[in-house]
Structure 1
Amino acid sequence: MTVSIRVLFAASEVYPLVKTGGLGDVGYSLPHALHRAGADVRLVLPAYRTVLAQVENIRILGWLEVRGAKRTHSVRILEVRHPDFAFPLWLVDCQVLFDRPGNPYVRADGQDWPDNAERFTVFARAVTDLARDVLGIHWQADVVHANDWQTGLVPALLGEFPHPPKRIFTIHNMAYGGHFSLADFNRLALPLHWWTHEGVEFYGGFSMLKAGIVYADEVTTVSPTYAREICTSEFGYGLHGVLQVYRHKLHGILNGIDEAVWDPATDAYLPAHYSANRRQPGKALNKQALLARFGMATDDLAMQVPLFGMVSRLVQQKGLDLVLAALPHWLAHTDARFVFVGSGDSKYEASLCEFAVGYPHRIGVCIGYDEALAHLVEAGSDLFLMPSQFEPCGLNQMYSLRYGTPPVVYRTGGLADTVIDASMEHQTQGIANGFVFDKFDVETLIATVERAIACYDQPRLWQALLRTGMKHSFGWEHSAQSYLALYRATSSK
């Protein structure tokens, strides 16, 4: 009998317990896909206040004495259960570091928690101890899969011990590097031999993201195109040289989506269900509900007009400058309507709200994140705006395709790997599923949206586009097999 490979999956956020972005979705879906494929999974994350409020059957596995910043923390390790998880969750419970309200990384004013270096070093040290079964609970990891800068020290710390488990490090977004000072490095008593240009040192400080890249056995990122892009100065955030050196261990594995959660045929958030083979009346009823949600007309004329949706963090990366610059043109020269859901930079929030006040019958805005509304936007919109300047993988374009809502995207990262432009050639081949533009400027975005509206006005072409997008599977099964192959390949070293 084959013994299951034991995987300790470490992440700083996991849907539905705590989520700020795509990492939270991956932190839920990938471990479950690995579990279904036969892996013996444990998922470990910090015991944030919001997480502790949602879990049950709490059992104390033990206590760890963990070095912090010039102090030692007595850290409880909790094993908990939650109905949405098929395997045990381990929580690193250090109240002075994690028992605080709101966002796991930033204060209410948007500034980083000032002790983030200590918080995530303590978390990484606890993960390292758990991987080595320091508590003696008879579960020792074969593979530790660390994710993003918050766990970047885990591969480095494991390397300090003989015969460590295999170390996989996944980069979800190079824009967040976990950069801290030499003073932080010294206060945390991190190994002095790490402080080299070949180690964690980065422009006079140190980078937890760099630590993960340098010390992991294998490095993955979330799409094949992004794996190539981050080796360039444009996308590498100063680490492109390091990534070029370690390119031999860099792999681009496309994220998947949870097709049980994101399924228009069963989605509990939707007022009406539909499928690739029977899109109506369900799709139209969702559009009607979405228009009504924002106080827009829902008569026959309104239902014929294209409705664009956007669910996004309102930050520059997501192409908000282009969208805001293009909106006056679209309002003047098309009859399209728009709905925006998200939060982020206050200047983008204010600009969108100003448009909504000026054009209440054509623009709807919800500042904040609402999971139910996000699902309704995917189902009720005719087209999905996602003109990100860079996008490591992106999930919303895959949700949109599954929901029969062709996305409008810039050719970058995972968007380039999943959206196939509705050119005449691709339509003839039957592979077109959305609208892709190659030049990141306002004029090109405007032209692409006009091209999308022209396609929308041709029912035969439009329905073929929807059908192609909806029938493609973006589930995690294939990606999970790629990860398992990587785990086992590194296990043979």
Structure 2
Amino acid sequence: MKILFIASEIDGLIKTGGLADVAYALPKALCALGHEVKIALPAYQQIQSVWQTWPKQTFESKINHFMTEPVSAYQGDFNGLALVAIAHKDSFNRNGIYDERQQAYSDNPFRFAMMTKASLDWCQLNSWQPDIVHANDWQSSLAGFYLAEHFKHESFFTNTRSILTLHNAAYQMYCEQRELTYLGIDERFYTEQDFKQQDGLNLLKGSLGFTDGIVTVSPGYAQELKTELGGHGLTDKINSLSQPFKGILNGSDESQWNPESDIYISSHFSASDLSGKQQCKLDLQQRLNLASEVSKPLLGVICRLTEQKGIDLLIPAFKQLMQANQCQIVVLGSGDERLASELLELAENNQQNFKFINGYDIELSHQIEAGCDAFLMPSIFEPCGLNQIYSLRYGTLPLVRQVGGLKDTVCRLADDYTNCDQATGFMFLEANSTALLRELERLLAVYNQQPDIWQQLQQNAMQQRFSWQKAAQQYEQFYQLLLSQEKAAHPLI
């Protein structure tokens, strides 16, 4: 199959979250299955050194009835993947990707709509006829709409099917009604059944009705999206859809996240020889100026500092743990300034046992996964999650909340320890600090008092495999299902 994969970020070039990991690893796995994949993304200023030397095509892209915009497309290779970088005026020649100083760009809807429409125009210009157009999150969600409405009278895309993957449906892109014209959305689609929400537009909600198939990044998240509690306000819309809807669990890139070959850690290790993990712990303690105490459990957190990630639950628990001098903690992340300030205060008051690094560091993230004893991920919601998967591979036992992809990937140790041969970590349900602290104390008790059980869980965890090959095969089957069916029919088209 020929697959056009449209994404706003890709790991190794530009990244803010898990979408980037998928945009690199899934196309790579699909290519390994024999498919021809081209990844379309914005020609960001930050990656200009990569795309500016590639062959350039300039053409016009018509996004609405009164605007025909000049666009340039640069096609080249990145780590064996075929990329098409879309440049449009000053849309992507900016300091940020989606925002600056935590202020979102006001023209984000138009910027990414242009990228999406131009990607489809590029296919037509080059007579490269995709079987599948694979959009990702709100940024490229309009791909299905443009195929259904803008290209409905052209035969070029007649046999093309569209798919939209929801990596995080909480981000939906709301904008004002006046954006309809600029985005090329006819007034007849400004209804509660389509793009209208209150007095404005909801791009993700509206786009769901035009794509031929929808995928979420875990079976658990697919179930939650159909419930009022976990649907981010999209429950009625999702439950009304007739298109195929499936949860496919993300994989882990073994070429990057493998303790036996990780280029960022000083000592490699495996399930059969964990001695290197102890050295990684010492190395991490020394790098972060923590007390070099091998026997004291070291807990790690790597995430965006947002309410979604459960940082508000962690901070009260951290304060109690520090008062009791029970463990060491390292947190790597950035985001909410209030949360960052509270974490910084904790670090200043507990310099031997608590370290907060405000930002993101790929090398340090690998060292945290390798050197920590446990990894904390108490997300309020989590579509899939990748760090708990990485943690399992490194024998860093995850403690997670029972939601989304976390409950799909971690097996909780029973209170009576009867499932020691299967358990891979710790889990709690209630979204409050009391429940989190209760499970944390249980984790610490097993670490300190039941070393045989802890080692058994490590062995169980390190034997888990979440391969992109398996995920790619499921996507392949989903593509084939869409191609065997008629296109999704919208009543107004």
TM over 0.5: yes
How is 1:356-395 mapped onto 2 (pairs within 5 angstroms)? 356-395=347-386
- Aligned residue number for residue 489 of structure 2: none
The equivalent position to 1:134 in structure 2, one of 103, 114, 124, is: 124
- Aligned residue number for residue 463 of structure 1: 455
How is 1:8-407 mapped onto 2 (pairs within 5 angstroms)? 8-55=4-51, 57-67=53-63, 71-82=67-78, 84=79, 86-102=80-96, 104-107=97-100, 109-130=101-122, 133-135=123-125, 137-160=126-149, 161-162=151-152, 163=158, 165-246=160-241, 249-280=244-275, 282-298=276-292, 302-407=293-398
Contact 1:155–1:211 (CA<8 Å) still a contact in 2?
A: no
- 1:169 alignment partner, SS class: strand
Residue 95 of structure 1, CA deviation: 3.4
The one-letter amino acid of 1:313's match is R
The CA distance in 2 between the partners of 1:247 and 1:285, in whole Å, is: 54
The one-letter amino acid of 1:35's match is C
Deviates more, 1:72-81 or 1:219-228: 72-81
The CA distance in 1 between the partners of 2:381 and 2:193, in whole Å, is: 27
The one-letter amino acid of 1:139's match is W
Contact 1:255–1:476 (CA<8 Å) still a contact in 2?
A: yes
Deviates more, 1:184-193 or 1:430-439: 184-193
The CA distance in 1 between the partners of 2:432 and 2:352, in whole Å, is: 27
- Residues 118, 232 of structure 1: alpha-carbon distance in 2 compared, 3 angstrom cutoff: same
- 2:133 alignment partner, SS class: strand
Contact 1:29–1:476 (CA<8 Å) still a contact in 2?
A: yes
Contact 1:64–1:77 (CA<8 Å) still a contact in 2?
A: no
Residue 294 of structure 1, CA deviation: 1.3
Contact 2:75–2:84 (CA<8 Å) still a contact in 1?
A: yes
Identity of matched residues, %: 36
> CA offsets, 1:222-277, max 9 Å, x none?
11111111112222222110001126521111111111110111110111111122
- Residues 46, 344 of structure 1: alpha-carbon distance in 2 compared, 3 angstrom cutoff: same
Contact 2:423–2:457 (CA<8 Å) still a contact in 1?
A: yes
Deviates more, 1:369-378 or 1:68-77: 68-77
> CA offsets, 1:407-433, max 9 Å, x none?
111000000100110115675361100
The CA distance in 2 between the partners of 1:95 and 1:292, in whole Å, is: 47
- Aligned residue number for residue 479 of structure 1: 471
- 1:414 alignment partner, SS class: helix
State the TM-score, normalizing by the size of structure 1: 0.94
The CA distance in 1 between the partners of 2:307 and 2:81, in whole Å, is: 37
- 1:423 alignment partner, SS class: coil
Deviates more, 1:52-61 or 1:312-321: 52-61
Contact 1:55–1:81 (CA<8 Å) still a contact in 2?
A: no
- Residues 454, 286 of structure 1: alpha-carbon distance in 2 compared, 3 angstrom cutoff: same
Residue 456 of structure 1, CA deviation: 1.0
Deviates more, 1:234-243 or 1:462-471: 234-243
Deviates more, 1:225-234 or 1:243-252: 243-252
Deviates more, 1:473-482 or 1:53-62: 53-62
Contact 2:214–2:243 (CA<8 Å) still a contact in 1?
A: no
Q: Which runs of 5+ in 2 are unaligned?
A: 153-157, 486-493
- 1:463 alignment partner, SS class: helix
Residue 184 of structure 1, CA deviation: 1.2
CA RMSD of aligned residues (A): 1.6
The one-letter amino acid of 2:300's match is G
Deviates more, 1:47-56 or 1:13-22: 47-56
Contact 2:309–2:377 (CA<8 Å) still a contact in 1?
A: yes
State the TM-score, normalizing by the size of structure 2: 0.94
- Residues 120, 69 of structure 1: alpha-carbon distance in 2 compared, 3 angstrom cutoff: farther
- Residues 7, 187 of structure 1: alpha-carbon distance in 2 compared, 3 angstrom cutoff: closer
Residue 51 of structure 1, CA deviation: 2.1
> CA offsets, 1:380-438, max 9 Å, x none?
00000111110000000000000110011100000010011011567536110000001
Contact 1:174–1:235 (CA<8 Å) still a contact in 2?
A: no
The CA distance in 1 between the partners of 2:457 and 2:443, in whole Å, is: 11
The one-letter amino acid of 1:491's match is L
Contact 2:413–2:423 (CA<8 Å) still a contact in 1?
A: yes
Count of matched residue pairs: 478
Contact 1:422–1:432 (CA<8 Å) still a contact in 2?
A: yes
How is 1:406-421 mapped onto 2 (pairs within 5 angstroms)? 406-421=397-412
Deviates more, 1:320-329 or 1:378-387: 320-329
The CA distance in 1 between the partners of 2:456 and 2:207, in whole Å, is: 44
> CA offsets, 1:39-68, max 9 Å, x none?
110000010111222347501144233337
The CA distance in 2 between the partners of 1:321 and 1:87, in whole Å, is: 39
The one-letter amino acid of 1:486's match is F
Deviates more, 1:65-74 or 1:409-418: 65-74
- 1:303 alignment partner, SS class: coil
The one-letter amino acid of 1:333's match is A
Deviates more, 1:328-337 or 1:143-152: 328-337
Q: Which runs of 5+ in 1 are unaligned?
A: none
- 1:393 alignment partner, SS class: coil
The CA distance in 2 between the partners of 1:164 and 1:116, in whole Å, is: 30
